[in-house]
Structure formats: C-alpha cells, structure tokens
C-alpha cells in the first residue's frame, strides 16, 4: 500500500486513526501493530511471515543478550542474531547478483532464483539489527513482544524509512503523549510530504521517462535528465520521510529528521550529513565505529571509509553501478579528508557548484540500469557519442517541464521556509499564516486527490531498496 493512494488516504488511515484513539493507552501499541501488519500484508501477505520470524528471533536473542551481557555467550548471541537477520536480506536481495557473476566468471549456467524482493526488507532488517546490538551494548531488552513488534513493523516508516533506532523509541513505546498541537503538526508535515511526492517528484519522473524513451538525445537533454532525477529522488524520498515523520507525530512518536536541505551543501562530506541521515548514522554507529573509525590512524580510517561506502552502495541495490556509486563517494570523501576540504572552504560558490556537480553525476550512475548505461549517460553530459548540443525534443521538454524544474530547484532550498519565517516575524504575520494554513493544506489535498483519481502517481523509488 502506498501513502500516495486513495485506499490509504481515505480508507486505511481514517479507520486506523479512529481505532487507535478509541482504545485505552495500554492497547494503542497493539492497534498500531495490527494496522501495520494489514498495511504490509495488503500487497505482500506471504512476506508477513518472514517479517514475523525476524521479529521473533530478534525478540528471543534480545532476551539472551541481556542475560549473557558481558560474557562470551553474549557476544556469540549478538553475532548469530545479526547473521540471521542479514542472511534473509542476502538471500532475497543479492542471491541472483552473486549467481549471475559466478556464471559470468566461470562460464557456468547456474539457474537464477528470480526472487521477488520483500518491500522494506533493507529497512526493517537494519532496525532489528540496531535493536539486538543496542541490547548487547547495554540497552534494556524489550520484554513486551507487542512493543518490539510495533517498533519493527510500524507502518509510517516500515517500507522506506527513516531507519528508526530502538534506543530512540524505547521510551516512547512504553509511554508517549498525544495532543492536538502534535497531531496538527503531523498532518501538516504529512500533506507537505505528499505534495513533494505527487506535485514534484512524479512530474519530474515523467521527464526522466521521456528522456529514456527519446531517440533525440542531446547534451542539453542529458543535463535536463540529470537535474530532473536529482530533484525527483530528493522529493520522492524526502517526501516519504516527511510523511513518515508526520504520521509518527500523529501517533505520538517523534522520529528524527532524515533530510536537511542536502543540495545547499558546500562539500560531499556535508552532503552526506544532510542526505538520508538515518542511513548515514546507522553505518557510522554499527559499521564505521566498530571497525575502528578514525581511532587507529589515518590509513585504517581510509580503509574503513572505503568499506562503509562499498556497503552503502551495495545496500542500495544488487548491481555493479550501485557499488561504483558507493566507491565514487568513498574517493571523494577520502580526497576531502586528505586535502580538498580546506580548499573548498575558500569559496562558497565554487564549493557548492563542485558539490552539486558530483551529486548529479553520482545520481546519473545511481539511476542507470547497468554500467554501460551509466557510462553512456555520463558521456552524454559532455557530448560523448557525437550527440548535438541541443535537440528539438530537448527544447520542447524544457518548455513543458521548465516550471516544475524551477519549482523543484527552489523547493530543494530553504527559501520557502525562510519566507514563512519572515512573514511570521511581522506583527500580524503569524496570525495570517495560522488562518491561511488549513485552507492551503486542504487545497493541496484536493488537488493531489484529483491526481490520484486520475492515476497520475508512481511507486516510491526507495521501495525497491
């Protein structure tokens, strides 16, 4: 089930909210768990059993880890739990990748499994791992299975994050408050995220589709495509995160932010502190620091960075272009740590241009179907293949999609937020905004409903990861 669907907005969500707020406090986690299972099982009922097994093993190992904390048995339990969780992710997501590469290298013809990837498995696997590792490190094990299951399968962030750490939600699972103010903030955040998805990401996605189908490639068209996908993936994923954070607030939870205007960054280092924050901090705390971080000398630090970014790329998909994408950022981050960062600090304009250029180039590689397409798309940015600078179709698309590209470019900066703050600073500004906001949000929802009825929406890009 998609957030950007009529069935979710006008059937599932109202019923869930009605039940959730009708029951006493002690039953709210149970209602949330039941709703989450329905939400997940709506499209993939058979994989509910897989998710249930992973939750049960996480619960059992959590109790064992607390019992044997500080002992060798505890360390073994932690390793086994992590291996069990990762084994399912490796099987469903990467089995065909490894089999295909073995066939290419050896000349064998091992049959591919062609497994369907369970939606959200990359996200909820990481959440279960964070729980068991946090318990191993000293967090109290969750003895209430309903609370733990509600944490893992909570539908607002189940299928595409943000990756919520157990240590951040443990107290909220036991006790949380609900208020009209919090619910109003959550609704506002949800509608804004939905607008990002439907009004911007989906329209930009149409431009990307037109580019892929076009037989009239040009340098201009390649750059339009690179800009469109760079904006599409931001509004698609940050829009989902906004909706997840907003829904969480309605249910009384406070999820951490996942994006912080990454395209205004002045370095790749800063970009990755602002983009998909929950994934970056997860790899930092559960991979980079356990490997030694920066505590064992510069050489070991660079090796750790390489390892983390290979895994980050591989986490996004079972294809070599994702591995290349991860290594691409490993090289840039290493260069910045060694010498480039100090030079970038000398010019705000050049540093931002440098960052945006390499982020766009990275997303061109990210979005390619394979390495060959990635090479062709990158070469097209500089006129490779003898393509012209401009084509008639590129000019037509620029006229057709120029407005949404401009709106996306402005929306990816803090400009709209800052404008709201300036208006609110005037004596009557805050009152005007308070009066206008419900009507503006209602208008947005009406327009977006029309788009959904018309069938104008796409699945979220990060669902496939």
Residues designated as active site: 316
385 within 8 A of 184, measured Cβ to Cβ:
no
**Is residue 259 exposed (0-12), middle (13-18) or buried (19+ Cβ within 10 Å)?**
buried
Chain Cα centroid distance, residue 401: 25
* Residue 452 to residue 449: CA distance in whole angstroms: 5
Which string of b and e fits 439-449 if b means at least 16 CB within 10 Å?
A: eebeebbeebe
Q: What is the CA radius of gyration of the chain?
A: 23
Nearest Cα to Cα of residue 196 among 268, 246, 147: 246
- Residue 283: phi and psi, rounded to 5, are -65, -35
Which residue is it, tokens 């002045």?
266
383 within 8 A of 389, measured Cβ to Cβ:
yes
Q: What is the DSSP string of 97-159?
A: HHHHHHHHHH---PPP--PPPPTTHHHHHHHHHHHHHHHHHTPPP---HHHHHHHHH-GGGTT
280 within 8 A of 256, measured Cβ to Cβ:
no
* Residue 383 to residue 211: CA distance in whole angstroms: 16
């Amino acid at each position: 089930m998609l957030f950007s669907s009529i069935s979710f907005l006008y059937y599932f969500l109202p019923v869930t909210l009605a039940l959730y707020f009708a029951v006493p406090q002690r039953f709210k986690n149970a209602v949330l768990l039941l709703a989450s299972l329905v939400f997940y099982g709506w499209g993939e009922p058979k994989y509910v059993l897989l998710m249930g097994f992973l939750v049960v093993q996480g619960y059992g190992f959590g109790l064992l880890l607390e019992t044997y904390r500080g002992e060798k048995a505890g360390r073994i339990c932690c390793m086994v739990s992590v291996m069990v969780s990762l084994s399912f992710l490796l099987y469903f997501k990467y089995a065909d990748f490894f089999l295909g590469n073995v066939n290419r290298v050896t000349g064998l013809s091992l049959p591919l499994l062609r497994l369907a990837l369970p939606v959200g498995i990359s996200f909820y696997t990481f959440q279960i791992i964070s729980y068991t590792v946090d318990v191993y490190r000293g967090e109290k094990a969750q003895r209430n299975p309903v609370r733990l299951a509600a944490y893992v399968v909570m539908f607002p962030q189940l299928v595409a994050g943000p990756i919520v750490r157990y240590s951040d939600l443990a107290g909220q699972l036991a006790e949380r408050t609900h208020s009209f103010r919090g619910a109003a903030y959550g609704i506002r955040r949800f509608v804004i995220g939905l607008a990002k998805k439907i009004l911007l990401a989906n329209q930009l996605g149409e431009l990307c589709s037109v580019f892929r189908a076009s037989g009239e490639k040009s340098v201009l068209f390649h750059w339009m495509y690179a800009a469109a996908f760079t904006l599409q993936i931001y509004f698609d994923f940050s829009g989902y995160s906004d909706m997840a954070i907003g829904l969480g607030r309605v249910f009384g939870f406070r999820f951490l932010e996942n994006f912080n205007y990454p395209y205004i960054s002045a370095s790749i280092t800063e970009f990755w502190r602002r983009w998909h924050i929950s994934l970056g901090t997860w790899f930092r705390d559960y991979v980079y620091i356990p490997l030694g971080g920066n505590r064992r000398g510069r050489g070991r630090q660079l090796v750790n960075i390489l390892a983390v970014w290979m895994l980050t790329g591989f986490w996004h998909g079972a294809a070599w272009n994702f591995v290349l994408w991860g290594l691409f950022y490993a090289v840039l981050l290493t260069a910045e740590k060694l010498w480039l960062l100090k030079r970038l600090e000398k010019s705000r304009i050049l540093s931002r241009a440098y960052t945006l250029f390499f982020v766009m180039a990275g997303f061109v590689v990210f979005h390619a179907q394979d390495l060959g397409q990635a090479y062709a798309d990158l070469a097209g940015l500089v006129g490779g293949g003898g393509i012209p600078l401009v084509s008639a179709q590129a000019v037509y698309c620029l006229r057709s999609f120029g407005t949404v590209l401009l709106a996306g470019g402005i929306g990816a900066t803090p400009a709209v937020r800052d404008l709201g703050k300036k208006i609110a600073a005037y004596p009557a500004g805050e009152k005007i905004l308070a009066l206008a906001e419900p009507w503006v949000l209602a208008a947005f929802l009406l327009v977006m409903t029309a788009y959904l009825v018309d069938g104008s929406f796409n699945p979220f890009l990060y669902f496939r990861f």
